Amino acid sequence: MMPSRGVCPPMARRHSHGPLLAAVLAIAPLIASAGRAIPRLDLSPYPKPAPGERRWVIQLPGVLPPAPAGGVAGDPRSWGVQLVVGEEMPVDCNIRRISGQLRVSDVPGWGYPIYRLEGPNAGLAITTLMACPKGQPKPIRFVTLGGDPVLAPYNVSLPIVVYLPERLELRWRVWRPLEPLQPARAL
């Protein structure tokens, strides 16, 4: 006798996930091989860091999670990678920035982009000189490069390679459009 109201008998419940389990097991090797399909990072064309410098490398993932509901970020050609150069240091009431400019050039003979911090006193912390209240705590903050943000193109085929003074670090995030393109008006 079968139970009523859509309740499965104990035997049917045990095997109800059979087709789903079979499908998951069938695609599991494909998912695992996709992870192995990413080529090894080859840095041989890129120059070694100069004395006092460190080379930072970002290898972008090929597929990102979907954009938030209603987002239009499906095309990687419209994505960018923000490169944020900085240093963790104690800060007070003054405004602090790291001096220099992150400039892009090409690896000689290859044409691959490389980013390097340049400029007079590049990498040094600069600050305003306000008198801060005595006894004010000095929390540790990530102090960043001054100026406009640097956006590198999102390209899974090439690593993003950045050369910085040894004590600085590189952080990054992906920027994707959330709104569709809007028409401009010609006046």
pLDDT digits (tens, 9 = 90+) for 83-129: 999 999 999 999 999 999 999 999 999 999 999 999 989 999 999 99
Compute the CA torsion angle 81, 88, 120, 109 (nearest 10 deg).
-40
Q: What does the pLDDT average to over 51-65? A: 86
In 3D space, the residue among 118, 183, 182 whose CA is nearest the CA of residue 150 turns out to be 118
- The reported pLDDT for the residue numbered 76 is 78
Instruction: Determine the Cα–Cα distance for residues 19 and 106; give it in Å rounded to an integer.
Output: 53
Mean pLDDT within 30-45: 58
For residue 64, name the pLDDT band (cuts at 50, 70, 90): low
- The tokens for 75 are 């095309």
For 53-63+76-175, CATH gives 2.60.40.550
DSSP 119-145: STTTT-EEE--PPPPTT----EEEEEB
Per-residue pLDDT for 177 more than 90?
Answer: no
What is the pTM (predicted TM-score) of this model? Answer: 0.71
Average pLDDT over residues 50-67: 83
Is residue 71 over pLDDT 70?
A: no
Q: How many helices (H) and strands (E) does the chain have?
A: 2, 10
How does the average pLDDT of the chain come out, rounded? Answer: 81
